Structure 1
Amino acid sequence: MHVFVTGATGWVGSVIVRELLDAGHRVTGLARSEEKADALRRAGAEALLGTLDDHETLAGAASDVEAVIHTAFDHDFSKFVENARQDRRAIETFGAALEGSDKPLIVTSGLGALSLGRPSTEKDETPADSSNPRQSEIAVRAFADRGVRASTIRLAPSVHGIGDHGFVPILIRMARETGVSAYIGDGENRWPAVHRLDAGRLYRVVLEHGAPKPIYHAVAEDGIAFRDIAEAIGRGLGVPVEPREPDHFGWFASFAGGDFSSSSRITRDMLGWQPTGPSLLEDLARPEYYNA
């Protein structure tokens, strides 16, 4: 199968590319620079220069392949609303290009919009009026009845592994800067987690099963108490672990205090996907996690 992948040199996207190539698929990856294009070619993929704002390029690529996997997202939180709009426009471009083709369009979302007071499941839909600016799931859902096999893979808040540059490194950086690894309240709010290799493998498995369902959860651990994460970081950095008010975390407070516990039981039962990577706390016990 010929697959177009955005975010193809990214944290999860690069794993997806390797998974697809190793399984015998042909891959074209979107690359923002010649340097990234060269990295894709060295990996054995083809490269298409462009950005998520190059809608004609995206539409042409989607028309030329048998499936699209969209993982690219600008995680600069200082312009999160703008980046969410860019993401939605890209998804709408892909959907329009694939309309009526019955080709899979697999997009990426997160579990941060589903703080339900219980473990969320693949049956829980993000409401159309969600206040979360990131509307990836809602955007792709609109094409499900228009001849597109539209699916969303929801990633856990921590997609971890050595070289991580996501949410956990933000906590590590805060702990370094403030001299304390902090949590809010009793720290019993829970974060799901998944190793990046397991997350990348799930995209391939979903694709090879024909992406028959609208939602999948890339979750290996349903929920790790935030205090346990703070304690692991405290041990790794040799700093105290203490409760703090939400303003200690600034713009990150809603994430640090959020309870995002989620199950992936439906995904596992449907696809036979079984995570095999180390746990988040096992990764955080490794000195390499603190080298950045």
Structure 2
Amino acid sequence: MRVFVTGATGWIGTAVVGELLDAGHEITGLARSDASAATLDARGVRVVRGDLDDLDGIRAAATAAEAVVHLANKHDFADQAGTNKTERGTVQAVADALAGTGRPFVLASGLAFLTPGRVATEQDGSPFHGVDSLRGGSENLALEYADGGVGTVVARFAPTVHGAGDPGFLAALVATARAKGVSAYIGDGTHRWAAVHRGDAARVVRLALDRQVPAGTTLHAAAETGIPTRRIAEAVGRGLGLPVVSVPAGEAAEHFGWLTKFYGTDMAAGSDATRTLLGWTPDGPTLIEDLDSGCYYR
């Protein structure tokens, strides 16, 4: 298929593009910089220059494609309202372009804050609606289009998609531990994080296209249901040779900054339905194995 991918040079996107190319798909990638364009071109990916605010360009690329995978997100925590607005606009532009065609639209979403305190499943609907909610309520918006001839498939990624080169939450935790001189967790450290290796996550996206998953399907890219944050802190402490300590909830914001909201929330998730539907069997390193490998400390 001709697949248009946003976020094609990102952390997850790079792996997804590799999976799709290996499967014989023809990829067009959105690139906002010369460096990103050169990276895509070197991989044999057709380049469309633009960014998530270029809605006309996104609509045109989606219209020309046989499937769309939307992975890009501004992730601007200093301007969450702007990030949410952009995400919603991008999803609506793609969905409008695909309306009535039945073409697949795989939308990256998250498992963070979905069902705090219990294990989330694929049957759980997103509680986020409207532009002022997390990710601009884009998951629910995209699913609304499934009744209008868009092959919407929601791929919810675990809070941590880990591996060598990870720029996300784990890298930020390691950086915080280095800066503070201790590897910490909040309270009793029982908050859980679902996790998935980047290669396993990318395979979920590829399988969603190759298996022609029905419109309206929600998938979970979560290889591990939930690792207690205390275990994560202990692994980081081993890797950096630092003491492991508990930070009281009332002092967490001072210690962890913007990470506090995520690190202090229970975000566990299962993936039984995804494994059955896709025949997906994660085989990458676990989160703790990656932390113990040393790749986060170089």
Q: Considering the TM-score relative to the shorter chain, is it more than 0.5? A: yes
Counterpart residue number, 2:10: 10
| TM superposition shift of 1:74 | 1.4
Q: Is the 8 A contact 2:113 2:265 kept in 1?
A: no
| TM superposition shift of 1:163 | 0.4
What is the rounded CA distance, in whole Å, between the counterparts of 1:273 and 1:48 in structure 2?
A: 31
- One-letter amino acid of the counterpart of residue 102, structure 2: D
Q: Is 2:236 the partner of 1:236?
A: no
Counterpart residue number, 1:164: 166
Counterpart residue number, 2:100: 100
Name the SS for the 1:87 alignment partner.
helix
Residues 56-75 of structure 1: pairs in structure 2 closer than 5 A: 56-75=56-75
Name the SS for the 2:233 alignment partner.
helix
Q: Is the 8 A contact 1:106 1:211 kept in 2?
A: no
Counterpart residue number, 2:257: 250
How far does the alpha carbon of each residue in 1:89-134 deviate from its partner, in whole angstroms, 9 at most, with x for none?
0000000111101011111111112134221100000124487421
- One-letter amino acid of the counterpart of residue 27, structure 1: I
203-212 vs 135-144, which moves further: 135-144
Counterpart residue number, 2:296: 289
What is the rounded CA distance, in whole Å, between the counterparts of 2:196 and 2:129 in structure 1?
A: 28
- For the aligned residue pairs, the C-alpha RMSD in angstroms reads 1.3
What is the rounded CA distance, in whole Å, between the counterparts of 2:87 and 2:176 in structure 1?
A: 28
Of the three residues 186, 189, 197, the one matched with 1:187 is: 189
Q: Is the 8 A contact 1:111 1:156 kept in 2?
A: yes
TM-score by length of 2: 0.94
How far does the alpha carbon of each residue in 1:178-237 deviate from its partner, in whole angstroms, 9 at most, with x for none?
111111111011001000011111100001122314210000100001100000001111
TM-score by length of 1: 0.96
- One-letter amino acid of the counterpart of residue 173, structure 2: L
- One-letter amino acid of the counterpart of residue 236, structure 1: G
Structure 2, unaligned runs of 5 or more: none
Of the three residues 277, 286, 289, the one matched with 1:279 is: 286
- One-letter amino acid of the counterpart of residue 244, structure 1: V
- One-letter amino acid of the counterpart of residue 232, structure 2: I
What is the rounded CA distance, in whole Å, between the counterparts of 1:72 and 1:260 in structure 2?
A: 22
Structure 1, unaligned runs of 5 or more: none
What is the rounded CA distance, in whole Å, between the counterparts of 1:250 and 1:20 in structure 2?
A: 37
Counterpart residue number, 2:267: 260
Q: Provide the identity percentage.
A: 47
Of the three residues 148, 151, 155, the one matched with 1:149 is: 151
| TM superposition shift of 1:137 | 0.8
What is the rounded CA distance, in whole Å, between the counterparts of 1:38 and 1:143 in structure 2?
A: 34
| TM superposition shift of 1:80 | 2.3
Q: Is the 8 A contact 1:150 1:211 kept in 2?
A: no
- One-letter amino acid of the counterpart of residue 117, structure 1: G
Of the three residues 196, 205, 208, the one matched with 2:210 is: 208
| TM superposition shift of 1:51 | 0.5
